C-alpha cells in the first residue's frame, strides 16, 4: 500500500473515498461511482446515480465541490433523448448538492452506465472514516433498507407504484446531513450503505475499527414492501453474494428470521449512512437528525474488541 504523510485516507480500510491533505486547513476528497440503470425512467436514473456518487463525500464528513460525468452509452440502441434525460437528472442532483459539473467522458458501450467522479473538501481534522468506532458506541442508520429487493421487483414489473415510489425516494435523497448534527466530536465513524449491504459495510467498519458490532434485528428499518418481495424470492444475486461473504464473520441469534439476514445483506443504491456515536450523545444526535426531516433509527451498538465480527440479536 502507498504511504505519504498527506494521504489521510487511502485504500487500506476499504473506506468510502480517498482523502489527501492540501494545506493545514483543507483536505481533498476523491471518489468515483457508476453503474447500470436500476429504474426505467432515465431522468430518475440520472438522479439516483449522481446521488449515489455524491454520497461518498458526505460519508467522509465533506462537502462536494465538482463532479465529472462518466457515461457508457450504446449509441446504436439507446435514443439520444434518454441520455439527455439521464444527464439532466444527474445535473439537478449535482446542483442540489451545491457542486458544479466541470466535464466528463463518454464511451460507446454495449450496456448503458452512468455515474460521477466527485471531488470534495473537508478540514483535515474533521475527516470521518469507517475506522473510528469505539466499544460502547451506539449505531444509527439514516435510511431504511430494501431498495435492492424493490428494484428487482421493479425490473420484473412486480412492484406496486407505492413500493416503487418509496424506494425511489430513498435512492434519490442526498445523504447530506445538517452541519449542526454531523459536525460533532461524538460521531466517531461513518460509512454509507451501498452495494455490500448493511452487513457488508458494517463488517468493513468493524474490521477497520477492530471491534465487534451488534445489530438489534427488529430495530433496523426496512421498507415494508421489501419484506413482502423478499419473501417471494425477489432478492438480487449481489445480495446473496454479500451474505455468503459475511457469513463466516456473522453470528445470528436463535429465532431471527433468515429473511431479515437476506434484507440486511441487500445491495443498496444510495442507502443511508451508518454512524457510530458516543452513547451519551446518541439520543441528542438522533433527535437532531429527526428534527431536520431525516428518519434515522438507533439499530445497534459496538459491543467488543473482536476485530471484524457482526452479531445479530433480536
Rounded mean pLDDT, 190-208: 97
CATH (one of 3.30.1330.10, 3.60.10.10, 3.40.50.12780, 3.90.1580.10) for 7-126 = 3.30.1330.10
Give span(s): CATH 3.30.1330.10, the chain. 7-126
Find all residues with CB under 8 Å of 23, minimum gap 6, and list them: none
Question: Burial of 221 by CB count in 10 Å (0-12 exposed, 13-18 middle, 19+ buried)?
Answer: middle
In 106-120, which positions are buried (b, 16+ CB within 10 angstroms) versus exposed (e)? eeeeeebbbbbbbbb
CATH topology of domain 138-313: Phosphoribosyl-aminoimidazole Synthetase; Chain A, domain 2 (3.90.650)
Confidence grade of residue 183 (pLDDT, cut at 50, 70, 90): low
Q: What is the pLDDT of residues 118-133, one digit of tens each?
A: 999 999 999 999 999 9
Q: What is the pLDDT of residues 134-143, one digit of tens each?
A: 999 999 999 9
Rounded mean pLDDT, 199-214: 97
pLDDT at position 306 over 90: no
User: What percent of the chain has pLDDT above 90?
Assistant: 93
User: What percent of the chain has pLDDT above 70?
Assistant: 99
Confidence grade of residue 208 (pLDDT, cut at 50, 70, 90): very high
Give span(s): CATH 3.90.650.10, the chain. 138-313
Rounded mean pLDDT, 173-181: 92
307 compared with 247, residue with greater pLDDT:
247
Question: Burial of 220 by CB count in 10 Å (0-12 exposed, 13-18 middle, 19+ buried)?
Answer: buried
pLDDT at position 61 over 80: yes
Q: Which of 76-90, 171-185, 236-250 has the highest mean pLDDT?
A: 76-90
**In this predicted structure, what is the pLDDT of residue 184?**
72
Torsion of CA 75, 78, 84, 85, to 10 degrees: -160
Confidence grade of residue 307 (pLDDT, cut at 50, 70, 90): confident
Residue the block writes with cell 419473501: 231
Cα separation, 189 vs 282, whole angstroms: 13
Q: What is the pLDDT of residues 98-111, one digit of tens each?
A: 999 999 999 999 99
Please say whether the dihedral angle defined by the alpha carbons of residues 42, 45, 50 and 51, taken in this order, is positive or negative: positive
Confidence grade of residue 18 (pLDDT, cut at 50, 70, 90): very high
pTM of the entire predicted model: 0.96
Amino acid at each position: 500500500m502507498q504511504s505519504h504523510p498527506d494521504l489521510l485516507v487511502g485504500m487500506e480500510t476499504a473506506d468510502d473515498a480517498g482523502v489527501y491533505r492540501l494545506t493545514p486547513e483543507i483536505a481533498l476528497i476523491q471518489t468515483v461511482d457508476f453503474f447500470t440503470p436500476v429504474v426505467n425512467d432515465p431522468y430518475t436514473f440520472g438522479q439516483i446515480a449522481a446521488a449515489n456518487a455524491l454520497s461518498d463525500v458526505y460519508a467522509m464528513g465533506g462537502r462536494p465541490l465538482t463532479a465529472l460525468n462518466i457515461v457508457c452509452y450504446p449509441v446504436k440502441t439507446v435514443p439520444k433523448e434518454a441520455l439527455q434525460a439521464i444527464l439532466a437528472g444527474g445535473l439537478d442532483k449535482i446542483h442540489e448538492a451545491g457542486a458544479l459539473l466541470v466535464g466528463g467522458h463518454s464511451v460507446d458501450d454495449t450496456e448503458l452506465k452512468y455515474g460521477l467522479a466527485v471531488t470534495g473538501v473537508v478540514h483535515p481534522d474533521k475527516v470521518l472514516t469507517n475506522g473510528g468506532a469505539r466499544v460502547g458506541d451506539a449505531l444509527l442508520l439514516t435510511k431504511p433498507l430494501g431498495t435492492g429487493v424493490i428494484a428487482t421487483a421493479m425490473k420484473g414489473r412486480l412492484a406496486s407504484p407505492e413500493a416503487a415510489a418509496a424506494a425511489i425516494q430513498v435512492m434519490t435523497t442526498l445523504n447530506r446531513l445538517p452541519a449542526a448534527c454531523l459536525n460533532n466530536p461524538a460521531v466517531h465513524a461513518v460509512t454509507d450503505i451501498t452495494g455490500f449491504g448493511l452487513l457488508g459495510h458494517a463488517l468493513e467498519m468493524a474490521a477497520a475499527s477492530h471491534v465487534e458490532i451488534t445489530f438489534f434485528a427488529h430495530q433496523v428499518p426496512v421498507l415494508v414492501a421489501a419484506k413482502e418481495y423478499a419473501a417471494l424470492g425477489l432478492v438480487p444475486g449481489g445480495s446473496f453474494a454479500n451474505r455468503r461473504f459475511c457469513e463466516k464473520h456473522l453470528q445470528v441469534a436463535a429465532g431471527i428470521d433468515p429473511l431479515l439476514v437476506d434484507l440486511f445483506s441487500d445491495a443498496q443504491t444510495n442507502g443511508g449512512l451508518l454512524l457510530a456515536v458516543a452513547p451519551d450523545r446518541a439520543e441528542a444526535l438522533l433527535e437532531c437528525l429527526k428534527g431536520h426531516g431525516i428518519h434515522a433509527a438507533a439499530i445497534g451498538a459496538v459491543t467488543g474488541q473482536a476485530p471484524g465480527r457482526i452479531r445479530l440479536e433480536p
